[in-house]
């Protein structure tokens, strides 16, 4: 599907995978050249249908695959797409480090598909490290890299200057909100800073890592910023009511949560608490396996 004159959405609906809905892969195309933003899953259907789509638009030469962050729904297909096209893989060095750690991390569901994806991610090597402010050329077009930590320490967004299109990775999704894990991977304070920076770009369109395109970028980003501030107020209110652990708070915030999502939801509460701790508004202390918090401003 074509989103703008130069931007194509290479969307594949992958049923068998658990977790987030299908990741989007985008191609920015000009003068017979293409840059892919993210690589999607590594399975045959995903990789083949993306390569087939590129053929239908005249088979541009894929110069580069910019991977917004290391999660396997975004990075997983990068090695196979590189092998098929000869493109170089570009990522932030922080994400390259996290890729190396992927095989040793605790599994999400541990199924055979996840095993396969982990193996594919471990094959990725970064041909071009990215830094904030880098500009890549695709034909006559310029893609500017923004280092936008939040869901992951080296997360990047990409801004297509000529068409004011923002590729937002997982920082802004087409539907819903992004899970922000606690440090060292995620960081709530930096996430909100990233959103403010993204808002200031005055983009005309957001191409998100998942879900439909966002046609009112500024409004969408403001909603996400507001949501984080509201959630923070909720965490502080729960603390004043006597909730002292991230798990107790998570149960109050998400009373009917699917148990499989609890670990992620606790992480989300924790990332709010770390932000509040850094601002001197709560204290955190370790107790056994977990963390206990106290308010400081009441």
CA atoms within 13 A on the CB side of 186: 22
CB-nearer residue toward Zn ion: 41 or 159: 41
The answer to whether the CB of 112 falls within 8 A of the CB of 125 is no
Q: How far is the CB of 173 from Zn ion (least distance, A)?
A: 8
Residue 203 CB contacts under 8 Å (≥ 6 apart), including other chains: 159, 164, 165, 166, 217, 218
Q: Which stretch binds Zn ion (CB under 5 A): 43-51, 53-61, 102-110, 209-217?
A: 209-217
Give the count of residues interacting with Zn ion (CB under 5 A).
3
CB-nearer residue toward Zn ion: 150 or 209: 209
Q: Does 248 bind Zn ion (CB under 5 A)?
A: no
Q: How far is the CB of 35 from Zn ion (least distance, A)?
A: 19
Residue 6 CB contacts under 8 Å (≥ 6 apart), including other chains: 28, 29, 30, 138, 141, 160, 162, 163
Strand, helix or coil at 30?
strand
Going from the C-alpha of 251 to that of each of 42, 178, 183, the distances in angstroms are 35, 19, 21
Q: Which stretch binds Zn ion (CB under 5 A): 9-17, 41-49, 70-78, 99-107?
A: 70-78
CB-nearer residue toward Zn ion: 60 or 151: 151
Q: Which helix (H) or strand (E) holds 145?
A: strand 141-147
Q: Which stretch binds Zn ion (CB under 5 A): 49-57, 66-74, 155-163, 243-251?
A: 66-74
CB-nearer residue toward Zn ion: 6 or 148: 148
> Given candidates 94, 120, 134, 170, which one binds Zn ion under the rule CB under 5 A?
170
Write out the residues near Zn ion by the rule CB under 5 A.
Answer: 73, 170, 209
């Amino acid at each position: 599907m074509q989103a703008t004159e130069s931007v194509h959405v290479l969307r594949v609906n992958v049923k068998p995978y658990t977790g987030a809905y299908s990741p989007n892969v985008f191609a920015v195309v000009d003068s017979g050249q293409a840059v892919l933003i993210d690589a999607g899953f590594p399975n045959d259907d995903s990789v083949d249908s993306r390569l087939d789509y590129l053929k239908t638009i005249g088979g541009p030469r894929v110069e580069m695959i910019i991977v917004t962050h290391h999660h396997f729904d975004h990075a997983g297909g990068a090695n196979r797409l590189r092998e098929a096209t000869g493109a170089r893989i570009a990522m932030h060095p922080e994400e390259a480090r996290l890729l190396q750690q992927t095989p040793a991390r605790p599994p999400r569901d541990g199924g055979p598909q996840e095993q396969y994806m982990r193996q594919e991610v471990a094959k990725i090597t970064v041909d071009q490290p990215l830094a904030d402010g880098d500009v890549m050329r695709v034909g006559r077009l310029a893609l500017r890299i923004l280092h936008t930590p939040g869901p992951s320490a080296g997360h990047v967004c990409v801004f297509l200057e000529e068409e004011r299109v923002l590729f937002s990775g997982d920082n802004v999704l087409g539907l819903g909100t992004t899970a922000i894990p606690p440090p060292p991977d995620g960081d709530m304070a930096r996430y909100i800073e990233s959103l403010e920076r993204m808002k200031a770009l005055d983009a005309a369109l957001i191409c998100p890592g998942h879900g439909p395109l966002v046609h009112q970028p500024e409004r969408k980003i403001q909603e996400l910023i507001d949501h984080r501030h509201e959630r923070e107020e909720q965490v502080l209110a729960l603390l004043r009511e006597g909730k002292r652990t991230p798990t107790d708070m998570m149960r109050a915030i998400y009373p009917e949560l699917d148990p499989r999502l609890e670990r992620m939801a606790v992480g989300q509460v924790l990332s709010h608490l770390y932000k509040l701790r850094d601002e001197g508004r709560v204290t955190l202390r370790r107790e056994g396996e977990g963390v206990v918090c106290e308010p400081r401003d009441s």
